[in-house]
């Protein structure tokens, strides 16, 4: 499947979940396309992208917040522990502005609206738990939350 076909497939599925979402248009320069939908109070980025190994995959991400300035090192260590605990749902990542995301990558084979809805629901549930844990970690000034 090429990038345009993958973007059209995911876009059709997104329309079933959120008809008002911006359209996915594959960009060959960035090797991907993303759109944002709202789900249970979270903005969820959904798209397709090609990884370095060449596969074209579904990508789902939820922004959680900014790395706290207080006890930054403890918080980043906690993120590594959380990465271990969320195996199978997604993993945590940081962007250049130190915004924390939970992200996941999935194959496109057999993807349908029910499957994408399930992925989004799992990601939002994990994001809700992570934002609560992030708030507790910041309040506790370095005490780890497990």
Per the domain annotation, does 144 fall within a domain? no
Per the domain annotation, does 80 fall within a domain? yes
Please state the pTM of the whole predicted model: 0.84
Render pLDDT for 81-128 as a digit per residue (tens, 0 to 9): 888 776 578 888 999 999 999 999 999 999 999 999 999 999 998 888
Per the domain annotation, does 49 fall within a domain? yes
Which pLDDT does position 139 carry in this prediction?
64
Per the domain annotation, does 145 fall within a domain? no
Instruction: Yes or no: say if 107 and 74 are a contact pair by the CB < 8 Å rule.
Output: no
Q: Which domain holds residue 39?
A: 3-139
Per the domain annotation, does 117 fall within a domain? yes
How many C-beta atoms surround the C-beta of residue 88 within 10 A?
A: 9
Which pLDDT does position 26 carry in this prediction?
92
Q: Is the pLDDT of residue 141 over 60?
A: no
Per the domain annotation, does 70 fall within a domain? yes
> Partners of 92 in the beta sheet?
102
Render pLDDT for 68-83 as a digit per residue (tens, 0 to 9): 887 888 888 888 888 8
Q: Give pairs for 76-85: CB < 8 Å, separation 24+.
A: 77/144, 78/133, 78/137, 78/144, 78/145, 81/144, 81/146, 82/130, 82/133, 85/146
Q: What separation in angstroms does the CA of 19 have from each of 15, 38, 103?
A: 4, 11, 23
What does DSSP say about strands 99-106 and 91-94: parallel, antiparallel, or unpaired?
antiparallel
Of 71, 48, 50, whose CA–CA distance to 58 is shortest? 48
Joined tokens for residue 137: 């970690």
Q: Into how many domains does the chain fold?
A: 1
Per the domain annotation, does 71 fall within a domain? yes
CATH assignment of the domain containing 88: 3.30.1460.10
Q: In angstroms, rounded to a whole number, what is the distance separating the alpha carbons of residues 22 and 16?
A: 13
Per the domain annotation, does 79 fall within a domain? yes
């Amino acid at each position: 499947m090429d990038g345009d076909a993958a973007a059209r497939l995911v876009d059709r599925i997104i329309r079933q979940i959120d008809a008002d979402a911006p359209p996915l248009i594959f960009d060959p320069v960035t090797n991907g396309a993303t759109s944002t939908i709202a789900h249970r109070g979270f903005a969820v980025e959904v798209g397709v992208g090609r990884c370095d190994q060449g596969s074209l995959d579904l990508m789902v991400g939820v922004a959680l917040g900014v790395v706290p300035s207080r006890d930054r090192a403890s918080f980043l260590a906690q993120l590594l522990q959380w990465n271990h605990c969320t195996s199978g749902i997604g993993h945590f990542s940081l962007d250049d502005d130190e915004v924390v995301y939970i992200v996941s990558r999935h194959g496109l084979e057999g993807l349908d609206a029910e499957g994408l809805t399930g992925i989004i629901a799992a990601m939002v549930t994990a994001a809700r738990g992570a934002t609560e844990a992030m708030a507790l970690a910041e309040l506790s000034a370095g005490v780890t939350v497990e």
